[in-house]
């Protein structure tokens, strides 16, 4: 059976897995370097990294800590564990804010 570790999935845009899919659940914080040990203990065949904060309205430092420091911890785990597959995703917010004067459609 494949062992897949998924970071993130706070529920905003994720469909919960069926009952027969989720075998183990561990809540951790990717900002904590111990996430590397948690991933090593789990021994995943695949790591799917989805833990990002896309809206800095409330706390820009927290967003940076998660998006940069947390991602660094996940990447270090990938480098050490060398899972067969590693997937990550982004969002439209990676492109930044759109100008207030959109190009008209003609």
Q: Is the pLDDT of residue 97 over 80?
A: no
For residues 56 and 68, the answer to whether their CB atoms sit within 8 Å is no
* Start-to-end C-alpha separation, the chain: 54
Q: How confident is the model at residue 16 (pLDDT cuts 50, 70, 90)?
A: low
Q: pLDDT at position 24, please?
A: 75
What confidence score (pLDDT) does residue 25 get? 75
Instruction: Decide if 78 contacts 47 (C-beta within 8 A).
Output: yes
Torsion angle defined by CA atoms of residues 74, 77, 43 and 90, in that order, rounded to the nearest 10 degrees:
30
CA distance 82 to 47: 10
pLDDT digits (tens, 9 = 90+) for 26-57: 788 999 999 999 999 999 999 999 888 877 67
Q: Does domain 4-91 have CATH number 3.40.50.720?
A: yes
The full set of domain ranges for the chain reads 4-91
How many residues belong to the chain?
Answer: 106
Can you tell me the mean pLDDT for 9-33? 71
């Amino acid at each position: 059976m494949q062992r897949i570790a998924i970071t993130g999935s706070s529920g905003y845009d994720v469909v919960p897995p069926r009952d027969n899919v989720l075998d183990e659940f561990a809540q951790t914080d990717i900002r904590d370097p111990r996430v590397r040990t948690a991933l090593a203990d789990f021994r995943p065949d695949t790591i799917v990294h989805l833990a990002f904060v896309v809206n800095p309205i409330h706390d820009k430092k927290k967003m940076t800590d998660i998006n940069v420091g947390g991602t660094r911890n996940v990447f270090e785990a990938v480098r050490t564990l060398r899972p067969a597959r590693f997937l990550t995703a982004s969002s439209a917010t990676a492109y930044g804010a759109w100008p207030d004067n959109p190009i008209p459609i003609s």
